Structure 1
Amino acid sequence: MARRNEHSKPELRALAIGTVRTLVAEQGLEKLSVREVARRLGYAPAMLYHLFDNLDDLILHVNADTLDTLLDRMDAAAAMENPRAALTAMAHHYLELSRAQTPLWQLVFEHRMNQGAPVPAWYQRRTRSLFLMVEQQLERLAPWATERERLLGARTLWGSLHGICVLYLGDKLDVAGDVDPREMVDSLLRHYLADWSATTDHRPRGDRKGARS
C-alpha cells in the first residue's frame, strides 16, 4: 500500500470507501471499525478522521455509492415510454441489486446513526431522489392522483418490494412453496398499479374515457 503522501485526499477517500465495501462483504457491519479500516489501508486510524467526520460519515458515503448505483439504473428505466413498464424495470433493478450486492444492500438499511444523530441532508436528498423517481412515474400513470396519493403509493410499493427482497435473501420464501421473487415482483406491480390507478381517479365517470395509460 502506498503511503499517505502518494495519495490525494479524494484518492484516500475513495480507497477508504472501497475498503469498507470489501470489509462489509467479508464480515458484515458488526465488526466494522475505524481501526480495522485503517489497518487494511496501512494508515493510522487518525488519518480517517481527516477524511470523514466519524465512522457513521464513512458508512454513509459507502451507502451513497450503493444508492447511486440504484439511481443510475432507475434513471435509465425512467426513460421508458410506458410508466408501468418503467416502474416494473425499476423494481427489477432493486431486486437484482439486493441479489448481486447483498452485504452492501443490507448495510443501507442496517446502519443506524450513533446515539441517534440526525442523518445529514446530503444523504436524505439521495433517498428522496429514489422515491421521487417512482412518484414521477405514478404521476405519468395517473395524472389525476394527488401529491399525497403519489407519495403514499411510492412508499407502499417500496415497502412491499423490500419485503419480498428481505424474505428472499433470508431464505424465507421457501415457507410459501416454490415461488420466484421476480414473478412476485411482477404480480405486485401489475395488480397494485391497476388498483391504485383506478382508486385514485375521482373524476366524473364521463371524463375518464381514454385517459388510462
Structure 2
Amino acid sequence: MNENNADAGADRRTHLRDRLIDIAQETVAAQGLAGLKARDLAAAAGCALGAIYTAFHDLDELILRVNARTLARLEAALDAAFVDAEAEQALEAMARAYLSFARKDEPSWRALFEHRLPPGAPVPAWYADARNRLFSRLDAPLAQLLPGRDATARAALARTLFSAVHGVVALGLEEKIAETPPKLLDEQLGVLIRLLAAGLMMESARLI
C-alpha cells in the first residue's frame, strides 16, 4: 500500500510539473518573461503557491524548463532549414531560420536571454547540454571552412558566430540603433554571413 501511495504521489508530482511548465510556457509566449508570476501560475494550475516549490527547486528551474522547450523548438527550426550544401549557404539558411524563429516566437525567444540565474548559481548540466546542441549545428559548415581547426576550436568559433548573428537579429528587431525594416534586416543578415564566410576562408588559406 505504501509503495502504491508513493507511486501515486510521484505521478501527481509529474503531472503537476508538466502542467506548470505548460502554463508557464503559454504565459511567456503571450506576455514575455515579465508576465510570469508565481501566484498567477499557481492559480491557473489550480494548486497552492507552495506546490510550485515541491514540483521545482525554485522558479528559476521552472523558467529553465520552459526555456529548454524553446531551445528544442529552435533546434528543430534550424534542422529543418539546414541544407547540405556549401558552408556559406548552410550558415545563411540557419541564420535566416534563427531570424524567422525570433520574429514568430519573439517573447519566448527573448526569455532565453532575459533570464538570469542568481550570482554564483551554476547552470544545470541538462540545460547547458540543450544550449550547446544549438552551437553544434554550426560544426559541419565550420569544418568545411576551417578543415585545419579541431573540434574545440570550432566549438568556440560556433559560439562567436552565434553571438554575431544574434546581435544583428536582436538589434534589428529592437530597432534601438536605427529603424530596420524586415527587408533591410534580411539583407544585413545575408551580408554578415557572407563576410564571415569570406573571412573564415581567408583564415583557412592562411593556416595552410
Q: Tell whether the structures are fold-level matches, with TM greater than 0.5.
A: yes
Query: Does the 8 Å contact 1:63/1:107 carry over to 2?
Result: yes
CA distance in 2, matches of 1:150, 1:68: 22
| From 154, 160, 169, the counterpart of 1:156 | 160
Cα distance, 1:70 vs structure 2: 1.2
Query: Does the 8 Å contact 1:78/1:137 carry over to 2?
Result: no
Query: Does the 8 Å contact 2:143/2:149 carry over to 1?
Result: yes
Bigger proportion of residues as helix:
2
Match of 1:185 in 2: 189
The reply to whether residue 20 of structure 1 matches residue 24 of structure 2 is yes
Query: Aligned pairs, how many?
Result: 200
Aligned amino acid, residue 133 of structure 1: R
Match of 2:129 in 1: 125
| From 139, 163, 174, the counterpart of 1:170 | 174
Stretch deviating more after TM superposition (72-81 or 29-38) = 72-81
| From 72, 78, 83, the counterpart of 2:76 | 72
Q: 1:153 to 1:115 in 2, by over 3 A?
A: closer
The reply to whether residue 143 of structure 1 matches residue 147 of structure 2 is yes
Match of 1:196 in 2: 200
Cα distance, 1:128 vs structure 2: 1.2
Query: Does the 8 Å contact 1:173/1:179 carry over to 2?
Result: no
Identity among equivalent positions (%) equals 35
Q: 1:77 to 1:141 in 2, by over 3 A?
A: farther
Q: 1:112 to 1:23 in 2, by over 3 A?
A: same
Cα distance, 1:34 vs structure 2: 2.2
Query: Does the 8 Å contact 1:149/1:200 carry over to 2?
Result: no
CA distance in 2, matches of 1:37, 1:76: 33
Stretch deviating more after TM superposition (104-113 or 160-169) = 160-169
- TM-score scaled by length of structure 1: 0.81
Match of 1:207 in 2: none
Residue aligned with 1:119, SS: coil
CA distance in 1, matches of 2:206, 2:173: 39
Could you give the per-residue CA deviations for residues 13-70 of structure 1, whole angstroms, max 9, x where no partner exists? 3321221122223433234232221111121122222322210110001000000011
Structure 2 unaligned regions, length at least 5 = 1-8
CA distance in 2, matches of 1:163, 1:86: 19
CA distance in 2, matches of 1:201, 1:148: 20
